[in-house]
Amino acid sequence: MIRFENVSKTYKNGTPALKDISLDIEKGEFVFLVGASGSGKTTFLRLLLREELPDRGRILEAGRDISELSKWRVPYLRRNIGCVFQDFRLLPNKSVFENVAFALEVIGRPRSTIESQVPQILELVGLADKAKNVPGELSGGEQQRVAVARAFVNRPLILLADEPTGNLDPTNSESIMALLERINRTGTTVVMATHDKALVDRMRRRVIELDHGEMVRDQVRGVYGIDEPMEIR
Amino acid sequence: MRVYLRYAIKETLANLWRNRMMTIAAVLTVAVSLSLVGAALLLKQSAAQASAQWQQGTRVTVWMQPNASASQVANVKSQLATLPIVKDCVFNSQAQDYQEAKRILPQSEWSVLSVSNVPSSFRCVPTVPSDAFVVMSTFKNEPGVYNVTAPEQQIRQMNSAIRILQIVFLALAGVLLLSATVLILNTIRMAIFARRREVSVMKLVGATNWFIRIPYITEGFIQGLLGSLVAVLAVTALHTWYPLHNEFQLDTTALVGTNLVVLVVGVVIGSVGSGLAIRRFLDV
């Protein structure tokens, strides 16, 4: 589903963000991306969204080289990638329903699709009863669930999550993780950048660790820290 | 498509309403500047019309005294006939000039005239238009001559006055159009800024560039259009109550043409303003 071939990226100010990364992520995989701040996790995600282009190497998504994609096709690429962020990025003046509907509306989905899809996805994230509330009236965990609903309502092939539990307490983190797992079970590839050690250790999923732009670890059922026993892939 | 149309209309109207003060400022600036453009165009057309009318007719008229003797008339006539710079001359008797006065003057004025106090005249066409002034100076002090008039001269003076007025109008209009463009650009920038969250979410979920841009372009377009519609009203009013309207017989074609130019310029200004704003502030 995702393939990096010797990908390097250096920012204009000279700081290398990624150095010669090669990896494969299969369809339906759940991958944790770990590493200290500035290790290149965010660059990794930005490259997948084609917000940045690699300086060297190729990135393939669903078999297509995304660097060769012409500019006007980028939006169509992004329709296949859902995104969740630490700061939720909800629209404060729209209700929960409208926030999720917005994602369908702006890619030109007809009203009938919106009317049927949005309640369904709100049911999935457990917020059907809050459809009319605005984000300000929800807890952080609930807001993040709305964000997940918005990211997933278009049934993307890939879901990217950048520190989705970074602003949440353990209970709410738990429910977000359960939600992401559920989405993953439908066949969606999930890539999640995180600092949450406990979470990674418990989930025992594939862990890719970046350090100063280099991939220092790729572990099939990994844990967060490298000081623990590991099973090198 | 229908979904999008509804979305774009909704967004455009919401943006216009949210920025209504800026919108009003932009629309009024467009209106004032385009009214000036329209007025300048009308002036230009009336000047052209006036010149064309006069060029077909007499260029120099030698008016005799109403009481000039027959020999004085004959003298002037023979001089005009021998002068090489005069191509052609027609003599209008007092009776003929009286008839003409009756035709062109209002009743209150010609009713005080009688055939005997109306001058007879020679209507002459000089070989070269500028020779009209030589004819003027030659015959002005000839015995029996009352006056020599060359409408060309007056028209030229009027034309140069009109030309100056036109330049002033167009210069003002240019400055105002520039500020209108900047105002529209600024309104659109504010609209984009007010909706930056929406725009970033739209990019994230894969809205196409044009989907994001079009509401802002139509916003500028509508501002330009509203401004030029106000200007069209002003130009039409000016045409209807134009002080020189009757003399120059400006027809409706001139008005329609001017209004078309005003509309097109307004729409272009609006689109250019919003286009620039999008290029600079809406990075998609």
Q: Residue B228 in contact with residue B265, Cβ under 8 Å?
A: yes
In whole angstroms, give the CA distance from residue A167 to residue B229: 53
- Is the backbone of residue A94 left (phi > 0), alpha (psi -120 to 50) or beta? beta
Tell whether the model's pLDDT for residue B170 goes beyond 90. Answer: no
- CA A114, A120, A124 angle in degrees (round to 5)? 140
Task: Tell me the mean pLDDT in the region B130-158.
Answer: 76
Interface touch A103/B211, C-beta < 8 Å: no
Tell whether the model's pLDDT for residue B5 goes beyond 70. Answer: yes
In whole angstroms, give the CA distance from residue B49 to residue B59: 16
Tell whether the model's pLDDT for residue A222 goes beyond 80. Answer: no
Q: Residue B120 in contact with residue B62, Cβ under 8 Å?
A: no
Q: Does A46 touch chain B (CB under 8 A)?
A: no
In whole angstroms, give the CA distance from residue A148 to residue A159: 9
Tell whether the model's pLDDT for residue B26 goes beyond 80. Answer: yes
Q: What does DSSP say about strands B121-126 and B60-64: parallel, antiparallel, or unpaired? A: antiparallel
Q: Residue A19 in contact with residue A11, Cβ under 8 Å?
A: no
Q: Residue B165 in contact with residue B43, Cβ under 8 Å?
A: yes
Question: Closest-CA residue in chain A for B195?
Answer: A91
Helix (H) or strand (E) holding B253: helix B252-281
* Interface predicted TM-score (ipTM): 0.87
Q: Which of A58-67, A161-170, A192-201, B79-88 has the lowest mean pLDDT?
A: B79-88
In whole angstroms, give the CA distance from residue B87 to residue B59: 11
Residues linked to residue B147 through DSSP beta bridges, in sequence order = B63
Nearest CB to B209 within list A72, A79, A105: A72
- Please name the residues in contact with B23: beta carbons below 8 A apart, sequence gap of 6 or more: B16, B187, B223
Q: What pLDDT was estimated at residue B50?
A: 67
Nearest CB to A111 within list B3, B205, B212: B3
- Please name the residues in contact with B135: beta carbons below 8 A apart, sequence gap of 6 or more: B60, B62, B83, B85, B86, B124, B126, B148, B150
Six-digit token string for B127: 């070989």
Least Cα distance to A74 among A64, A84, A87 occurs for A64
Q: What pLDDT was estimated at residue A117?
A: 94
Interface touch B205/A72, C-beta < 8 Å: no
Sequence-ordered alpha helix ranges (H) in chain A: 41-48, 74-78, 96-105, 111-124, 140-152, 170-185, 197-203
Nearest CB to B7 within list A71, A77, A105: A105
In whole angstroms, give the CA distance from residue A154 to residue A106: 11
Question: Closest-CA residue in chain B for A107?
Answer: B207
Q: Does A174 touch chain B (CB under 8 A)?
A: no
Task: Tell me the mean pLDDT in the region A71-98.
Answer: 93
The pLDDT > 70 percentage for chain B reads: 88
Residues linked to residue A24 through DSSP beta bridges, in sequence order = A3
Q: Does A105 touch chain B (CB under 8 A)?
A: yes
Residue with the two structure tokens 């008005």: B255
Q: Residue A156 in contact with residue A117, Cβ under 8 Å?
A: no
In chain B, where the domains are located: 2-53+156-281, 60-149
A80: chain B residues, CB-CB within 8 Å: 206
In a mutational test of the A interface, the residue from B10, B201, B205, B209 whose CB has the highest number of chain A CBs within 10 Å is B205
Mean pLDDT of chain B: 83
Q: Does B211 touch chain A (CB under 8 A)?
A: yes
B208: chain A residues, CB-CB within 8 Å: 72, 75-76, 107
Mind telling me how many Å the CA of A207 is from chain B's nearest CA? 25
Q: What is the CA radius of gyration of chain A?
A: 18
Span A203-218, pLDDT tens digits: 889 999 999 899 998 9
Q: What pLDDT was estimated at residue A45?
A: 94
Task: Tell me the mean pLDDT in the region B16-43.
Answer: 87
Question: Closest-CA residue in chain A for B8?
Answer: A106
Q: Does A73 touch chain B (CB under 8 A)?
A: no
Q: What does DSSP say about strands A158-162 and A214-219: parallel, antiparallel, or unpaired? A: unpaired
In a mutational test of the B interface, the residue from A49, A72, A106 whose CB has the highest number of chain B CBs within 10 Å is A106
Q: What pLDDT was estimated at residue B153?
A: 66
Q: Residue A70 in contact with residue A126, Cβ under 8 Å?
A: no
Span B221-241, pLDDT tens digits: 999 999 999 999 998 888 887
Q: Does B112 touch chain A (CB under 8 A)?
A: no
Question: Closest-CA residue in chain B for A84?
Answer: B204
In chain A, where the domains are located: 1-80+157-225, 91-155
Mind telling me how many Å the CA of A72 is from chain B's nearest CA? 7
Q: What pLDDT was estimated at residue B205?
A: 92
Residues linked to residue A161 through DSSP beta bridges, in sequence order = A84, A192
Tell whether the model's pLDDT for residue A47 goes beyond 90. Answer: yes
Query: Binning pLDDT at 50, 70 and 90, where does residue B244 land?
Result: low
Residue B111 burial (10 A CB sphere; 0-12, 13-18, 19+): exposed
Query: Binning pLDDT at 50, 70 and 90, where does residue B155 land?
Result: low
Pick the CATH number of A1-80+157-225 from 1.10.1060.10, 3.40.50.2300, 3.40.50.720, 3.40.50.300: 3.40.50.300
**Chain A, chain B: beta-carbon pairs less than 8 Å apart:** 59
In whole angstroms, give the CA distance from residue A30 to residue A45: 14
Interface touch A83/B3, C-beta < 8 Å: no
B3: chain A residues, CB-CB within 8 Å: 105, 108-111
Please give the single-letter amino acid code of residue A78: R
Interface touch B201/A76, C-beta < 8 Å: no
A91: chain B residues, CB-CB within 8 Å: 197-198, 201
Query: Binning pLDDT at 50, 70 and 90, where does residue A147 land?
Result: very high
Q: What pLDDT was estimated at residue A50?
A: 92
Q: Residue A62 in contact with residue B172, Cβ under 8 Å?
A: no
Task: Tell me the mean pLDDT in the region A85-112.
Answer: 93
- Please name the residues in contact with A88: beta carbons below 8 A apart, sequence gap of 6 or more: A135, A140, A143, A144, A146, A147, A167
Q: Does B204 touch chain A (CB under 8 A)?
A: yes
Q: Does B202 touch chain A (CB under 8 A)?
A: yes
Q: Residue B64 in contact with residue B93, Cβ under 8 Å?
A: no
Q: Residue A164 in contact with residue A192, Cβ under 8 Å?
A: yes
In whole angstroms, give the CA distance from residue A160 to residue A151: 9
Q: Does A75 touch chain B (CB under 8 A)?
A: yes
Q: Which of A192-201, B143-152, B189-198 has the lowest mean pLDDT?
A: B143-152
Q: How many CB atoms lie within 10 A of CB A93?
A: 12
Beta strand segments in B42-104, E: 60-64, 86-92
Span B78-136, pLDDT tens digits: 888 888 878 778 888 888 888 888 877 777 777 788 888 888 888 888 776 667 777 77
Residue with the two structure tokens 């080289």: A65
Q: What pLDDT was estimated at residue B60?
A: 80
Mean pLDDT of chain A: 90
Q: Which fold, B60-149?
A: Alpha-Beta Plaits (3.30.70)
* pLDDT top residue among B21 and B126: B21
Q: What pLDDT was estimated at residue B54?
A: 62
Q: Which of A146-150, A187-191, B44-48 has the lowest mean pLDDT?
A: B44-48
Q: Does B283 touch chain A (CB under 8 A)?
A: no
Q: Which of A83-87, A132-136, B13-17, B269-273 has the lowest mean pLDDT?
A: B13-17
Q: Does B268 touch chain A (CB under 8 A)?
A: no
Nearest CB to B207 within list A49, A77, A107: A107
Six-digit token string for B249: 């017989």
Helix (H) or strand (E) holding B131: none
Task: Tell me the mean pLDDT in the region A34-59.
Answer: 91
Q: What does DSSP say about strands A16-25 and A158-162: parallel, antiparallel, or unpaired? A: unpaired
Mind telling me how many Å the CA of A99 is from chain B's nearest CA? 10
B204: chain A residues, CB-CB within 8 Å: 49, 78, 83, 89
Nearest CB to B198 within list A91, A108, A150: A91
Six-digit token string for A17: 């963000």
Q: What pLDDT was estimated at residue A14?
A: 77
